[in-house]
Amino acid sequence: MAMSTLSNNTDAVPEQALPEPLLGQLRDSVQQVLSTMVDARCDGCEGAHGEQLRIQAMVDFHGAHAGTLSLACDDDGAASLARGLLMLAPEDPLAPEEIEDAIKECANMVAGVLKTRAFGADGDARLSVPRLAAAPLANNDGLWWRVQAGALVVGLRRAS
């Protein structure tokens, strides 16, 4: 699949251990978005099995709960996520820009749900517009999902 591959990892989010309530809220937020919006089989799974994460979107939290949410996929995961969001059949054409926009929008929705779940509907957290960032290539610490045959990893870095 032709996709803009981000080769350096300067924007990669170094995952840190999150406290369990926040980890659970992150897991539930991802699950809510996938189950509501993505027409594809999505299952939580254990960490890395050599997948090459090729594309990553980030959303920043500003305010009292500052941090960055990251959502990264391998090629298959990115395409499956985009097709699932857009309800496209496997034979339907899918442009690289459509995949990138779908990954950003998915990260945006996860961040929005997490904001409400973790920080309250009126908590002091403002979301940035989602952006693409260099993919981390490998990530053993985020929360993993299988999207069809591909991989999706979501992490959260809190500002110190």
- Under the rule (CB under 8 A), what is the footprint of other proteins? 32-33, 36-37, 82, 85-87, 97-98, 101-102, 104-105, 108-109, 111-113, 115-116, 121-123, 127, 129
CB 22 to other proteins: min, Å: 18
CB 143 to other proteins: min, Å: 17
Backbone angles phi, psi at 129, to 5 degrees: -70, 135
Q: CB-wise, 106 or 137, nearer to other proteins? A: 106
36-66 in b/e form (b: 16+ CB < 10 A) is: eebebebeeeeeeeebebbbbbbbbbeeebe
CB 46 to other proteins: min, Å: 25
Give the span between the Cα atoms of 24 and 144, in whole angstroms.
13
Helix (H), strand (E) at residue 3:
none
Q: CB-wise, 11 or 105, nearer to other proteins? A: 105
Secondary structure class of 86 (helix, strand, coil): helix
Q: CB-wise, 37 or 48, nearer to other proteins? A: 37
CB 55 to other proteins: min, Å: 14
Q: CB-wise, 3 or 86, nearer to other proteins? A: 86
Give the span between the Cα atoms of 8 and 137, in whole angstroms.
9
Secondary structure class of 112 (helix, strand, coil): helix
Say which residue the tokens 């960055």 belong to.
68
Q: CB-wise, 17 or 121, nearer to other proteins? A: 121
